[in-house]
Structure 1
Amino acid sequence: MELDVRDKRAIPLIHHPDCAALGYQVIRELGRNREEGRITYLAYDRKSKQQVVIKEFSCPSTTADWSGFQAYEHEAQILQKLNHPRIPRYLNSFATQTAFYLVMEYKKAVPLSSRHRFHPEEIKQIALSILEILVYLQQRIDPIIHRDIKPENILIDEQLNAYLVDFDLARVQGTETTLTSLIAGTPGFMSPEEQLGYPLSLASDLYSLGVTIICLLTNSCSINIDQLINSNGCFNLQKLAPQVNLRFRSWLMGMAAFKWQYRYANAADALAALKPIPTTGTATAMEILVTVMRLKRQTAVLGLAIIAMLAVAGTTLILSQQGGVAQPLQEAKK
C-alpha cells in the first residue's frame, strides 16, 4: 500500500527532524542504527511531489567526531557516480548544526530481513537480481565494492526485484581502506580477507551475498549467522533444507568459500553459472561427483566418502545415456 503523508499511523512529527524549510515533510521513520547514529526516514518532496528517503547521520556523542560526516560525504560521492534502476539515486544533501542528511530516491520495497520463509526458487530470483547490480558495479571503469551486503541492506518489492542500499562503506577497487572503515563492516558477512586486513577483490562482495543467501535458505537471522559456521571457518551447508538441489549448494560453495581463490572470480561469472541451475530436485550422479570435487578442493567435509559412493553407484546410469560423460566432465574441469 502506498504511504500517504497524512497517514495517521505515522509517529508524531515532533520526533522527526524538521526539514520543512528545505521543502521536505518527514512522514515516518524507516529504520535506524543506534550505534552509528544513523536514522532513515520516509519523506515527501514538495517540489517534485514525490516520496523520497532521507538518511540522517549524527554524532553518537557530544564530543567532536568527524566519522559521521565522513560516512555522509563518502556515500554521497559514491551515489552520485551511479545510475542503475535498482540502486536508489542520489537527489540532494544538506547539513544542520547537529546532523548531515542525504536525500535519495524512494523505492516501494521492504528490507529483505523483514520477510521470512522464502521458497528456494524465490531466493534464486533475489540472488540473480542482486548479481545483476553487482555486475554493473564491477564492470565500471572504476569498479565499486559495496563491502556491506546483508539482508538489512537489500530491499525487495512485490515482484522480488532486489535493490541494493547503504553505500557508506563502499569504495572503489584498489583504493586504501582506513582502519575505521575496515572494522565497520558486519561480522559474519564480511569476507575473510577483509577481516584479516588483506586486499579486497571482486569476489569479496560475492562472499557477503553468498552468506545472505545462506541466511534465506536456512531462515536464519543475521545476528545468528555465526551458528552456521564450523570450526574451520566454513559454512555447514548440511543445514540447508533437503529439497535444495545439490548443484545450487555447489554454486553456494563457489560464493561463500573461505578462500577467495575458490569463489567465482566476479559477479558476471557467478550470474552465468546460477541461471541454468535448478533450486530443488534430486541431483544426478555426475552432479554429485562435481560437488565432491569442489568440496575436496575447499575443505575436508564429514560424509564425503558417502557422497562419493553415491556418485560411483550412479555412474552406470550416466554411461548408458547418449553422449556418455563427456559434457559433464568438461563442466567438472571448469
Structure 2
Amino acid sequence: MNDLDNSNPKSESVSEIVRNNLPDFKIHGYQVDEQLSEQLDRGRITYLAREIETERLVVIKEWRQIDVRTPVPDYANYLPEITRLQQLDSPNLSRYLNSFQTPTGFCLVREYLPGVSVAELGTLPSADIRLVADAIINILDYLHHLIPVVIHQNIKPTNIIVDTETELAIYLVDFGLHPHAHEPHNRYQPGSIPTATEAYDLYSVGISMICSLTGTSTSQSQHLFDRNYRLNFQHLIPVNTDPKLIAWLKNMVESNHQPQYLDTFTDRGINPNRSPASVPEYPRADLQEPFSFQMPEPQPIVNWWRWGIGAGMLLALALIVRQFVFPSSDELTPAQIAKNQSIAQEAEFAASDRGRLIKENRCISCNLTNQNFAKAELAGAMLLQSSLNGSNFSDANLTLAIFQDADLSGANLSRANLSKAALYGAKLNGTNLTGVNLDRAKLVYAKLKGASLRDAKLTNADLKFAEFQQVDLRNANLTGADLSNADLSYSNLKKATLTNAKLDGAILTGTTMPDGSVHP
C-alpha cells in the first residue's frame, strides 16, 4: 500500500493512521489483521479485521482519497445508500454492520463469510454454472423488488462466495457504492454520471458465468467480445456444454448490454458521456397461461343405503384402530412397548444437537461436549460457535469443515482430516491433534495452548496471530505455513519442517527449534 503524500495538508493525518502498511482502526473498535485486496487507482482497499469487543471476524472496505489532486470521498454523500445496505435482510447476503469516517474518506464494515470465491474455483462445469446462476438470480429477485430498488453494482466471480463443497450455500458480497444511487429524482438525470441499473446486474451475472464456464479472468473478459461487442466465446467452452445454457447466457448479456457496461465490469470505469438505458425485460423462459376451462360442479346425488353401509364400515375400522394402534396402557405387549420407546428415542435424537448435525451436517452454537464422532464423515460440516470440548473426532473426515469460534478444548482430533477447514478463533487448548491433517487450514487467532500437534501436517496453513504457547510440534510439517505474529513461546519444534514458513513477528521465547536449540 502506498501512503499518500504527507506534504499535502489534506493528507498529513494519513501517517497517523497507517502503521506497518495497515491502518489503525482501533478507535472504531476494529483490529486490522491483513490487506485482502487493493484498487489504488480507484481508492478502494479491503482488509480482514477483527471486532475488538467480540473478536468476530469482519471485512472492512476503505474508500479513500486517490491522491492529493482528488477530493476526499464525501462520507455524508454516501450515507443514504449505506443506510439502505444496512437494512437488507437476506441469508445469502453479507450483512453490513457499521460504517465510519476517516481522515481520507470512510470505511464500510460487513460480516466475514468463510468460503471460497467462484473466481478461486476456476473453470466450472455446466451443472455448477446453473447452480450458481440460479442462486444469484434469486438474490437479485429480492433486491430488485425492494422499494426503492437496490442494485448490487459489483457482481463478479470474486464476489460470489461458496461456503463449502458439500453445503453449497452461495452468497453475494461487496456491493458497489455510489453517492445518491437510489434517489428517484436524480437517478437518470441527463449529464450526471450514469449509475448501474437492474440491467447491469443481470449483465454482470451473465458475464460472470461465462468467465467461470470458459476459465476467463474478469480483467480479460473483454476478449470474449468482438469489435462490435458481440459475444464470441463458443470456441472456449467444452464441446458437451448444454446448448440451452449457452443460449441463456448469451441472452443474459446481449439483451442487457450497454456500451459502458463492459468497461465497468472490468474495472475500467464508467464513461460519463454515455446515458444509461432503460431496464430491459428480465430474460425468462416462456410460461404458458393456465387453462381457463373449468369443470362443471357435480350435482349432489344421495344414495342413503350406500351412505349407511359406508358409515358402518368406518365405525368398524375405527374400533380396529382403537384396539390395535391405541390400546390402553395395560394392554400393550412388550414388543409394542419397545417399539414405542424406540420411536420416542428416535424423535428425541432427531431434535437433539447431535441428531441435527448428523442429519443436516450443520449445527451452529450447539452443545456437543464429550460426544463420540470417531471416524465420522463430516466433510463441510458447519459447527460455528459450538461447544465441542472433550469430544472425540479421531480419524474423522472434516475436510472444509467450519469451526469458527468453536470450543474444542480437550477434544481428540488425532489423525483427523481437517484439510482446508476454517478454525478462525477456535479454542483448541489442550487438544490432541497428533498426526492431524491441517493442510491449507485457517487457524487465524486460534488458541492452542498446551495442544499436541506432533507429526501434524500444517503445510500452507494460515496460522497468523495463533496462540501456540507450550505446544508439542515435534516432527510437524509446517512447509509454507504463515506463522506471522503467532505466539510460539516455550513450544517444541524439534525436527519440525519450516521450509518457506513465514515467521515475521512470531514470538519464539523459550521455543525449542528444529535443530534442538532453544531460542532465547
- For normalisation by structure 1, the TM-score amounts to 0.63
1:164 paired to 2:170: no
Match of 1:176 in 2: 187
Q: Retained in 2: the 8 A contact 1:59–1:65? A: yes
Deviations 1:284-315 (A, max 9, x none): xxxxxxxxxxxxxxxxxxxxxxxxxxxxxxxx
Match of 2:87 in 1: 81
Change (3 A) 1:83 1:162: same
Cα displacement (A) at 1:36: 1.1
Change (3 A) 1:68 1:55: farther
Percentage of pairs with the same residue? 31
Q: Retained in 1: the 8 A contact 2:42–2:66? A: yes
Rg bigger for which structure? 2
What number of residue pairs does the alignment pair up? 243
Q: What is the letter of the counterpart of residue 60 of structure 1?
A: I
Deviations 1:238-281 (A, max 9, x none): 222211111111211221115669x98238x47x9xxxxxxxxx
Q: Aligned-pair RMSD on alpha carbons? A: 3.2
Q: Retained in 1: the 8 A contact 2:72–2:105? A: no
Change (3 A) 1:54 1:72: farther
Q: Retained in 1: the 8 A contact 2:95–2:111? A: yes
2:243 is aligned, of 243, 246, 262, to: 246
Cα displacement (A) at 1:64: 5.2
Structure-2 separation of matches of 1:248 and 1:173: 36
Match of 2:206 in 1: 210
Change (3 A) 1:124 1:241: same
Q: Retained in 1: the 8 A contact 2:88–2:95? A: yes
Match of 1:31 in 2: 37
Q: What is the letter of the counterpart of residue 26 of structure 2?
A: A
Q: What is the letter of the counterpart of residue 176 of structure 1?
A: R
Match of 1:288 in 2: none
Q: What is the letter of the counterpart of residue 255 of structure 1?
A: M
Cα displacement (A) at 1:75: 4.8
Match of 1:256 in 2: 253
Cα displacement (A) at 1:39: 0.9
Change (3 A) 1:110 1:169: farther
Match of 2:121 in 1: 115
Q: Retained in 2: the 8 A contact 1:117–1:219? A: yes
Structure-2 separation of matches of 1:264 and 1:253: 15
Q: Retained in 1: the 8 A contact 2:207–2:253? A: yes
What secondary structure, in the 3-state scheme, does the structure 2 residue paired with 1:172 have?
coil
Change (3 A) 1:228 1:64: closer
Cα displacement (A) at 1:72: 5.0
Q: What is the letter of the counterpart of residue 236 of structure 1?
A: N
Change (3 A) 1:72 1:173: closer
Q: Retained in 2: the 8 A contact 1:155–1:165? A: no
Please give the residue correspondences for 1:1-334 in structure 2 after superposition, counting only pairs within 5 Å: 14-63=20-69, 65-67=71-73, 69=75, 73=79, 75-159=81-165, 160=168, 161-169=170-178, 171-172=181-182, 175-176=186-187, 181-182=193-194, 200=197, 202-239=198-235, 240-258=237-255, 265-266=281-282, 269=284
Structure-2 separation of matches of 1:133 and 1:54: 22
Change (3 A) 1:23 1:221: same
Q: Retained in 1: the 8 A contact 2:93–2:173? A: yes
Structure-1 separation of matches of 2:60 and 2:96: 10
* Structure 2 residues without counterparts, runs of 5 or longer: 1-17, 258-276, 288-520
Cα displacement (A) at 1:129: 1.4
Structure-1 separation of matches of 2:102 and 2:281: 43
Cα displacement (A) at 1:23: 2.0
Match of 2:6 in 1: none
* Structure 1 residues without counterparts, runs of 5 or longer: 1-11, 184-193, 195-199, 273-334
What secondary structure, in the 3-state scheme, does the structure 1 residue paired with 2:208 have?
helix
- For normalisation by structure 2, the TM-score amounts to 0.42
Q: Retained in 1: the 8 A contact 2:225–2:233? A: no
What secondary structure, in the 3-state scheme, does the structure 2 residue paired with 1:56 have?
strand
Q: Retained in 1: the 8 A contact 2:75–2:101? A: no
Q: Retained in 2: the 8 A contact 1:147–1:169? A: no
Deviations 1:52-105 (A, max 9, x none): 111111101124514464775365233123111222112111123233111111
Match of 2:13 in 1: none
Structure with the bigger percentage of helix: 1
Change (3 A) 1:114 1:68: farther
Cα displacement (A) at 1:150: 1.9
Structure-2 separation of matches of 1:132 and 1:63: 42
Q: Retained in 2: the 8 A contact 1:154–1:165? A: no
Change (3 A) 1:144 1:37: same
Structure with the bigger percentage of strand: 1
